[in-house]
Amino acid sequence: MGVHRIYGFTFSLLLFLLLVSAQMALSLSSRPGKTTSSSPASQINSNSVLVALLDSHYTELAELVEKALLLQKLEDVVGRHNITIFAPKNEALERDLDPEFKRFLLEPGNLRSLQTLLLFHVIPLRVNSDEWPVHELGAHHATLSHHSLNLKQSKDSGDRTVDLARVVRPNDVVRPDGVIHGIERVLIPQTVVEEFNRRRSLRAISAVLPEGAPVVDPRTGKLRKKSGPPSPPGSPPEMPIFEAMAPGPALAPAPAPGPGGAHHHFDGEAQVKDFIHTLLHYGGYNELADILVNLTSLATEMGRLVSEGYVITVLAPNDEAMAKLTTDQLSEPGAPEQIVYYHIIPEYQTEESMYNAVRRFGKVRYDTLRLPFKVTAEEADGSVRFGEGEGSAYLFDPDIYTDGRISVQGIDGVLFPAEEIASESKTTRPAKVVTKTRRVVNLIGVRLTLT
Ligand SMILES: *[C@@H]1O[C@H](CO)[C@@H](O)[C@H](O)[C@H]1NC(C)=O
Ligand SMILES: *[C@@H]1O[C@H](CO)[C@@H](O)[C@H](O)[C@H]1NC(C)=O
């Protein structure tokens, strides 16, 4: 009996807590603008230099940063400052380091030394390659490890250096919140050398092998194949995609197709056609394909961007998801375009790259072509979930189409910016309207001459 009472009490307490938290959640979500900015600390932008580092060809450095448990710290730093990362090329960490020193760094007891060494490669400030101090003495910059580095550019040769390391790939990765310069050797703070020597006792050794020393790492002896191409997929062209877009996301009605008026001069357009074709063959994505075919201005715009060197990822809601759209959501002028633009990320992302990002960072924010709205992604059930709460969608059919410039990822919901969800949840939703009968093939024949 007593047990029952205790359970009964616990249960009603639980119920009470549930009600209270539900109430709080409701009052939070009904405040527009509050929902997106509520937890900035736990989110990272997908175009962050930190995300880029982990996907870059600096695989050795990226691995060490993860091993050293530094991601959270660096995430906090890029939340507040631009950063500059001096990234030793893989060979520098793989074979140019004294094997014994490397072993020392990887011992769990020496985590602090590893962290100090890695943070010595980051300064909380953006220094682009054209900002290198030309002064004879260079300039000192404090790093995240609190030791400072000397940046200098030779007047004669133009060579840029960071302490003793030559910069071999200036501006290798440039992102809105920072820049990565490739350097030829590892930067080792004096305190870490001292710590190493103390542990080793007796002989004081230099941590770095002299130039031209034998290159075999007896411990691993491996030649990594992971080094990517010089410029990794996803690095954008110079001009931000938003500046390259037609002004005011194509809200004008699509131009009537002229007789035989296919725009064959864009090869980006051929790729767009190709992916729409693939969507149709894949099955289950006819509604979206139909919208893209109907709104020729939108497809043309996408083709143009791709022709100009931009890359995109389309989060494609499947037919079931599209069927849930209401009149309200589609009837306003430009609404379908707005919806589609919110599902286009100006980056080339695959299932793997997105999953890796959310697994490492928990929550990732992607830019969309619908400015200024972003879409969040997080790990859920071993997959990627986009958006928040009720309006979220799972990555459902990964990598439907991936050609290196356009990536199409099937999702099981239509996404809306959190601000809109908040205001819409107050209005009642009328019945669905999207017409189910499709003349897709016909339309394609007429408008985009796909077949
Ligand atoms: C980073 O640099 C960019 C461009 O220089 C600037 O617009 C932005 O505000 C900076 N971000 C921070 C957090 O300082
Ligand atoms: C596509 O265009 C046809 C004819 O103009 C129209 O009847 C149909 O509703 C459009 N479909 C969509 C999804 O906009």
Q: Which segment, 15-24, 82-91, 227-236, 440-449, is predicted with the most confidence on average? A: 82-91
Interval between CA 440 and ligand 2 midpoint (Å): 9
Summarised one tens digit per residue, pLDDT across range 337-370 is 889 999 999 888 999 899 989 988 889 999 999 8
The predicted pLDDT at position 449 comes to 35
Note whether 6 and 398 are within 8 A (CB): no
pLDDT for 125 equals 94
Instruction: Indicate the pLDDT class of residue 237, thresholds 50, 70 and 90.
Output: low
Vertex 69 angle, CA 66 and 71, to 5°: 70
Model pLDDT, residue 94: 87
Lowest mean pLDDT, pick from 8-12, 53-57, 301-305: 8-12
- Does residue 294 line the site of ligand 2, with CB under 6 A? yes
438 lines ligand 2 (CB under 6 A): no
Give me the percent of the chain exceeding a pLDDT of 70. Answer: 69
Whether 428 and 334 have beta carbons less than 8 Å apart is answered as: no
Which pLDDT does position 257 carry in this prediction?
34
Mean pLDDT of the region 362-382 = 90
CA 66 to chain centre: 17
Q: Does ligand 1 have an atom closer than 6 angstroms to the CB of 367?
A: no
Residues 147, 191 contacting (CB under 8 angstroms)? yes
**Which residue's CA is the nearest one to ligand 2's atom 14?**
291
Give the torsion through C-alpha atoms of 360, 363, 368, 371, to 10 deg: -140
Q: What are phi and psi of 312, to 5 degrees?
A: -140, 155
* Å from CA of 181 to ligand 1 middle: 18
pLDDT at residue 311 in the model: 87
Furthest CA-CA distance within the chain: 90
Peptide bond into 372 cis (omega under 30): yes
Is ligand 1 within 6 A of the CB of residue 177? yes
Higher-pLDDT residue of 390, 396: 396
Nearest ligand for residue 80 CA: 1
Residue 53 identity (one-letter amino acid): L
Q: Find the distance separating the first CA and the last CA of the chain, reported in whole Å.
A: 75
Tens of pLDDT, residues 273-304: 888 988 888 889 998 998 888 887 888 888 88
Residue 33 has pLDDT above 80, yes or no: no
Q: What is the pLDDT of residue 73?
A: 93
Q: Which two tokens stand for residue 39?
A: 């937890």
Read off the pLDDT band of 243 (50, 70, 90). low
**Span 269-273, average pLDDT:** 85
Residue 414 tokens read as: 């239509």
CB burial class (10 A; 0-12, 13-18, 19+) of residue 141?
middle
**Which amino acid, 115?**
Q
Q: What is the pLDDT of residue 341?
A: 92
Task: Please provide residue 129's backbone torsions phi and psi, each rounded to the nearest 5 degrees.
Answer: -65, -25
pLDDT, average across residues 264-272: 69
Q: What is the pLDDT of residue 305?
A: 85
For residue 107, what pLDDT is reported?
87
126 Cβ inside 6 Å of ligand 1: yes
Reduce the secondary structure of the chain to three states and give it as a string: CHHHHHHHHHHHHHHHHHHHHHHHHHHHHCCCCCCCCCCHHHEEECCCHHHHHHCCCCHHHHHHHHHCCCHHHHHHHHHHCCEEEEEECHHHHHCCECHHHHHHHHCHHHHHHHHHHHHCCEECCCCCHHHCCCCCCCEEEECCCCCEEEEEECCCCCCEEECCEEEEEEEEEEECCEEEEEECCCCCCHHHHHHHHHHHCCCCCCCECCCCCCCCCCCCCCCCCCCCCCCCCCCCCCCCHHHHCCCCCCCCCCCCCCCCCCCCCCHHHHHHHHHHHHHHHHCCCHHHHHHHHHCHHHHHHHHHHHHCCCCEEEEEECHHHHCCCEHHHHHCCCHHHHHHHHCEECCCCCHHHHHHHHHHHCEEEEECCCCCCEEEEEEECCEEEECCHHHCEEEEEEEEEECCCEEEEEECCCCCCHHHHHHHCCCCCCCECCCCCCCHHHHHHHHHCCC
**376-391: average pLDDT:** 90
Mutation to probe ligand 2, out of 276, 290, 295, 338 (largest number of atoms < 8 A from CB): 290
- Say if residues 122 and 84 touch (Cβ distance below 8 Å): yes
> What is the structure's pLDDT at 52?
94
Residue 81 CA: nearest ligand 1 atom is: 13
Q: State if residue 397 touches ligand 2 by the CB under 6 angstroms criterion.
A: no
Task: Kindly list the structural domains of the chain, giving each domain's residue range(s) and its CATH number in brackets, ordered by start.
Answer: 42-200 (2.30.180.10), 241-448 (2.30.180.10)
Ligand nearest to the CA of 291: 2
Determine contact, residues 319/286, Cβ cutoff 8 Å. Answer: yes
Return the ligand number nearest the Cα of 83.
1
- For residue 79 and ligand 1, the question of a CB distance below 6 A is answered with no
Residue 254 confidence (pLDDT) above 60: no
Q: Beta 148-153 vs 139-142: how paired, if at all?
A: antiparallel
Bigger pLDDT: 395 vs 301: 395
405/38 Cα distance (integer angstroms): 33
pLDDT at 375 over 60: yes
Task: Assess whether the C-beta atom of 290 lies below 6 angstroms from ligand 2.
Answer: yes
**Mean pLDDT, the chain, whole residue set:** 75
pLDDT value of position 81? 93
Residue 411 has pLDDT above 50, yes or no: yes
pLDDT in tens, 168-199: 999 999 999 999 999 999 999 988 988 888 77
The pLDDT tens digits of the residues spanning 61-75 come to: 999 999 999 999 999
Of all ligands present, the nearest one to the C-alpha of 296 is: 2
What value, to the nearest 5°, has the Cα angle with vertex 401 and ends 400 and 405? 145
Q: What angle do CA 373, 378, 379 make, to 5 degrees?
A: 160
Give the predicted TM-score (pTM) of the model.
0.57
- Residue 172 or residue 228, greater confidence: 172
Ligand 2 centroid – CA 322 distance (Å): 14
Among 257, 294, 283, 275, CA closest to 408: 275
pLDDT at residue 259 tops 60: no
| pLDDT winner (highest mean) among 154-158, 253-257, 261-265, 422-426 | 154-158
Of how many residues is the chain composed?
451
C-alpha distances (whole Å) from 264 to each of 82, 261, 303, 402, 440 are 42, 9, 10, 21, 21
Of the listed ranges 234-238, 269-273, 279-283, the least confidently predicted one is 234-238
Q: Confidence class of residue 239 from pLDDT cuts 50, 70 and 90?
A: low
Higher pLDDT, 21 or 328: 328
Give me the percent of the chain exceeding a pLDDT of 90. 38
Higher pLDDT, 211 or 306: 306
Mutate which of 126, 130, 238 to test ligand 1's pocket (most atoms within 8 Å of Cβ)?
A: 126
